[in-house]
Amino acid sequence: MPAQNAGLSNYCVIAVDPAAPGSLPRHAMTRRILSLWLPLWPIERHQKQQPSPSRSGLALYAPERGRLLVTAADPIALRLGICRGMPLAQARAMQPELLVAQAQPAADQAALEALTLWCQWLSPLTATDGADGVWVETTGCDHLFGGEDQMAEHLLTRLAKAGYSARIAIADTAAIAAAVARSSHRSITLISPMGQESVLRELPLASLRLESETLATLRRLGLVRVGQLLDMPRAPLARRFGQALPDRLDQAMGRLPEPLSFRTAPQAFRASGTLVEPISTAPAIARALGNLVAELADTLSRRGHGARHLQVQCMRVDGTLQSLQIGLSNASADPVRLNRLLAERIETIEPGFGIEAFTLSATQTAPLDAPANRDWLAPATDPAGLPALLERLGGRVGIQSLSRLHDGASQFPEREQAYKGCEHVQSMEDHSPSGPHGPRPTRLLPAPASITVTEFWPDGAPKAFRWRRATHTIRGLIGPERVWSDWWHDPQGACTRDYWVAETVEGERFWLFVAHNGAGLAKGQALWFLHGLF
């Protein structure tokens, strides 16, 4: 029967009498599965990446069948009644000041995969559970943490420090662990070995993750709890509802195995060698590392990977270890390139009384680009020149000291590009130009400068404007070109811009725009700005 542990108020232990029929002897070890559920995973990931404290709530949305539907909501929005599957228009009607952002399911899933690998400090067997959960097989691992309760508390604490809400359940089967984690209001629920049947009977059928049509049919028949189906014959259930329902019941009871796709950590690419005699000169070190580079490059090439980061470990005769780190701007398995980078750093190695062993590791790798059918896209200049320059500069001043432009998530020119570190560059050809647009100025002002339009053409275009105490008369115009607002930053329908290229009678060319909300303001009421010079 359920009983709250007196020592910890945030978890519950569900025990079974050891003397009861069917219980295992004390020396037997049953399989134990930890289910980690992250109820606010997409929302909390977004808040960590784009902190925007709001008292009006936050919701994520995604297009589905021509409509925008809410995919996740923070606790404030949930309390207002905004939930998953609700049309975005309805959510905004319920809370006009609601902050919204587009969901990123692919990025969320990739981050969950990374979290699954991170959980391998608990156990080497971890698997992803849907879009918001992780399974960890903890059989025989809990004693390393002082018991299952301490292990779960440790995991919960580390996630909380990282800013993630979580619930944990540990049971004999993956199905019941996941069901309890998603159904219990406790942060941690421990189900003692062979004690899951009593717990399973009280769980809602929705916790078995059945098809929505099956759940709707069961509800119409008055069946809402798992216990109402456990004692029923499986064959009639399969004929009426399909084989998935009895299979789910048997998996939860441990009578039918539930295969889990355990994740493995990325393969480490390394080469090592022990020398017959210690060496201490730069040429000897270069020769030894050259042999390891050839071996490592061959392994990388056969696997279709390239090194993004290299680590050299030198074991000296006095037992000390010296490390050398080298970053690459893009993935490479070219031994000539790798040797050149290492040669520029060999002088920083302190051999002491001699080095007797080396280990060369590719600590970060990436798939190599397929060369086929890309010759017609190749630039006229050497494409490897710029990455090589970045690597040499990074080796001298540090890769973190270099930066480059990348595309930003905005239509507005001042936010269309931003600087990022070169250590994140996957390829020097990763720039994706935007769609066709009008002429762009050679000089973009850091921020749009306010101007006063003193005269208009009949169609509302500017004919003369005043900027910096000087009046400019416009002779010709190109435009307007409409640039839509960043509605994901300001969901209330912030300004849209209409841009003109204006040439004055003096021959100067300016990039002007008018900011409006689409309401068709009068000529004298609109706000005009100068944004660039040609």
User: How far is Cα 185 from Cα 12, in angstroms, rounded to an integer?
Assistant: 10
pLDDT of residue 438: 66
- What CATH architecture does domain 269-377 belong to? 2-Layer Sandwich (3.30)
The stretch 461-472 carries a mean pLDDT of 90
Task: Pick the more confident residue, 132 or 487.
Answer: 132
Question: What totals of helices (H) and strands (E) does the chain contain, helices first?
Answer: 15, 23
147-174 mean pLDDT: 92
Q: What is the pLDDT of residue 259?
A: 79
pLDDT above 90 covers what percent of the chain? 28
First-to-last alpha carbon distance for the chain, in angstroms, is: 78
Percent of the chain residues past pLDDT 70, beyond the cut: 78
C-alpha–C-alpha distance, residues 122 and 137, integer Å: 9
Of 471, 531, 480, 461, which is closest to residue 505 (Cα–Cα)?
A: 471
Shortest CA distance to 417 belongs to which of 408, 430, 404?
408
Q: Could you tell me where the beta strands, DSSP code E, fall in 243-354?
A: 262-263, 269-279, 305-316, 321-332
Over residues 188-246, the pLDDT tens digits come to 999 887 677 888 888 888 888 788 888 888 888 888 888 888 888 888 888 888 888 88
Sequence-ordered list of residues with C-beta below 8 angstroms from that of 186, at least 6 positions apart, any chain: 10, 11, 12, 167
pLDDT tier, 19 (very low <50, low <70, confident <90, very high otherwise) = very low
Angle at 98 between CA 166 and CA 91, to 5 degrees: 90
Q: Where are the domains of the chain?
A: 1-39+132-202, 53-103, 204-258, 269-377, 443-533
Which residues sit opposite 529 in a β-bridge? Answer: 450, 513
pLDDT of residue 500: 87
SS3 letters across 124-180: CCEEEECCCEEEEECCCCHHHHCCHHHHHHHHHHHHHHCCCCCEEEEECCHHHHHHH
Q: What would the mean pLDDT of 457-464 be, rounded to a whole number?
A: 85
1-39+132-202 CATH: 3.30.70.270
The whole-angstrom distance between residue 172's C-alpha and the CA centroid of its chain comes to 31
Confidence of residue 14 (pLDDT cuts 50, 70, 90): low
Second CATH level (architecture) for the domain 53-103: 3-Layer(aba) Sandwich (3.40)
Residue 318 has pLDDT above 90, yes or no: no
Separation CA 275–CA 293 (nearest Å): 16
Most confident range (mean pLDDT) of 97-111, 249-263, 427-441 is 97-111
Q: What is the rounded average pLDDT of the residues 277-283?
A: 92
